[in-house]
């Protein structure tokens, strides 16, 4: 199963809105077939592995990190292929949160020895974005912070390039390639004119989302160079001519409810889910960071901390109104590791 999960990871960033799935077929202690899902609409991992195994699949054991599909979608049900192949036993990492999928019971009903829940924790972490999106139709949201050891993301002049090491920045570019979209606020665009690409990693470029309540985005900014990859979120109070001008340039403009004159992030997340966006990484400034936390849209936090002291500067998160330590937001299931000269802390809200 561990090998199946590692194989599934090869599809990271490429399978959305589908999950990452890997499949290993073993016979007499030897791997006779393997495959992973490469892209939505293409063959599933089980079908590729069974094709790889051929007749060797007869009386074999099939390992797959996610419950095989049992319904017709873009592709035929994998359970039928498994039954036809002559596989003797199927070992499954986790149940598919999609209510249409009932592969575990289907395979048992068809007389195949089947187990589920093997390395379930690892299997769920691998597809945490898919699990949330399937259950709620809302994207999985990561809040990424890069700050000094005293919690600053920029100096008093707004200078922030570069707080963290190249190794950390390269990893962030890798993370961008793995999510569907990257989100920033308009202040970040005006201050830094970011590209939000994966140039240091050479992976798939994500969609770019700009939270821009008053449509201040400059026509000459880097993000406007590829309008087809740009989503601008604004409010229903914004002037219609301004919206139309952006749409005519090829920008996708999402209009949300207005909350105190600003984009309603909860409404935005619902609308982004309707656009089949399953995962987002927020790389905003202190205001967007705090708003995202207060509005409850963040699932996971990734904090890159550089061994630097800035002193007076811009904090990573604007005031959350917390006055007592006992009321501080505590991350769950935390994990720490070194990235270049920096420390990375991951945790869940």
pLDDT tens-digit profile of 80-138?
999 999 999 999 999 999 998 999 999 999 999 999 999 999 999 999 999 999 999 99
Say if CB 177 and CB 206 are below 8 A apart: yes
Q: What pLDDT is attached to residue 202?
A: 85
Q: With bands split at pLDDT 50, 70 and 90, how would you rate the model's confidence at 330? A: very high
Say if CB 64 and CB 22 are below 8 A apart: yes
Q: What pLDDT is attached to residue 171?
A: 97
Q: With bands split at pLDDT 50, 70 and 90, how would you rate the model's confidence at 74? A: low
For residue 319, is pLDDT > 90? no
Q: What pLDDT is attached to residue 274?
A: 96
pTM assigned to the model: 0.93
More confident residue, 76 or 177: 177
Q: What pLDDT is attached to residue 11?
A: 96
Distance CA(115)–CA(104), nearest Å, equals 8
Distance CA(143)–CA(327), nearest Å, equals 20
Tell me 327's DSSP state.
Answer: G
Q: With bands split at pLDDT 50, 70 and 90, how would you rate the model's confidence at 73? A: low
Catalytic residue list: 46
Q: With bands split at pLDDT 50, 70 and 90, how would you rate the model's confidence at 76? A: confident
**346 CB burial (10 A radius; 0-12, 13-18, 19+):** middle
Structure token pair of residue 161: 């390039």
Residue range 59-73: average pLDDT? 91
Q: What pLDDT is attached to residue 310?
A: 95
- State what percent of residues in the chain have pLDDT above 90: 91
Say if CB 139 and CB 277 are below 8 A apart: yes
**Side-chain-side CA neighbours of residue 294 (13 Å):** 14
Q: Determine how β-strand 140-148 pairs with β-strand 113-116.
A: unpaired
Phi (first) and psi of residue 133, to 5 degrees: -65, -40
**pLDDT tens, residue by residue, 8-21:** 999 999 999 999 99
337: CB partners within 8 A, 6+ apart: 343, 344
Which residues are bridge partners to 279 per DSSP? 140
Task: Kindly state the helix (H) or strand (E) to which residue 190 belongs, with its residue range.
Answer: helix 186-192
Q: With bands split at pLDDT 50, 70 and 90, how would you rate the model's confidence at 161? A: confident
Strand, helix or coil for residue 201 = coil
């Amino acid at each position: 199963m561990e090998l199946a999960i590692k194989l599934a990871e090869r599809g990271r960033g490429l399978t959305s809105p589908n999950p990452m799935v890997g499949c290993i077929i073993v016979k007499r202690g030897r791997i006779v077939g393997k495959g992973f899902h490469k892209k939505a609409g293409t063959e599933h991992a089980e079908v590729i592995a069974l094709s790889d195994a051929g007749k060797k699949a007869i009386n074999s054991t099939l390992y797959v990190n996610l419950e095989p599909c049992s319904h017709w979608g873009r592709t035929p049900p994998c359970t039928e292929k498994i039954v036809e192949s002559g596989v003797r036993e199927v070992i499954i990492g986790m149940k598919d949160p999609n209510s249409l999928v009932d592969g575990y019971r289907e395979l048992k009903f068809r007389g195949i020895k089947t187990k589920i829940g093997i390395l379930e924790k690892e299997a769920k972490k691998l597809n945490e974005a898919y699990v949330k999106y399937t259950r709620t139709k809302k994207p999985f949201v990561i809040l990424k912070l890069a700050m000094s050891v005293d919690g600053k993301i920029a100096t008093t002049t707004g200078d922030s390039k570069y707080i963290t090491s190249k190794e950390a920045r390269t990893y962030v570019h890798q993370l961008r390639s793995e999510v569907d979209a990257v989100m920033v606020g308009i202040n970040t665009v005006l201050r830094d004119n970011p590209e939000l690409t994966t140039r240091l990693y050479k992976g798939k470029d994500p969609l770019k989302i700009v939270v821009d309540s008053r449509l201040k985005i400059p026509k000459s900014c880097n993000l406007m160079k590829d309008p087809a990859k740009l989503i601008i979120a604004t409010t229903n109070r914004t002037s219609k001519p301004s919206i139309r001008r952006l749409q005519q340039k090829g920008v996708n403009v999402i209009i949300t409810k207005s909350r105190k004159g600003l984009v309603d992030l909860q409404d935005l997340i619902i609308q982004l889910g309707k656009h089949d966006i399953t995962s987002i990484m927020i790389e905003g400034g202190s205001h967007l960071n705090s708003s995202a936390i207060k509005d409850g849209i963040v699932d996971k936090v990734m904090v890159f901390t550089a061994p630097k002291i800035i002193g007076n500067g811009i904090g990573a998160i604007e005031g959350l109104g917390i006055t007592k330590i006992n009321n501080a937001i505590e991350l769950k299931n935390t994990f720490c590791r070194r990235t270049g000269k920096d420390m990375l802390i991951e945790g869940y809200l």
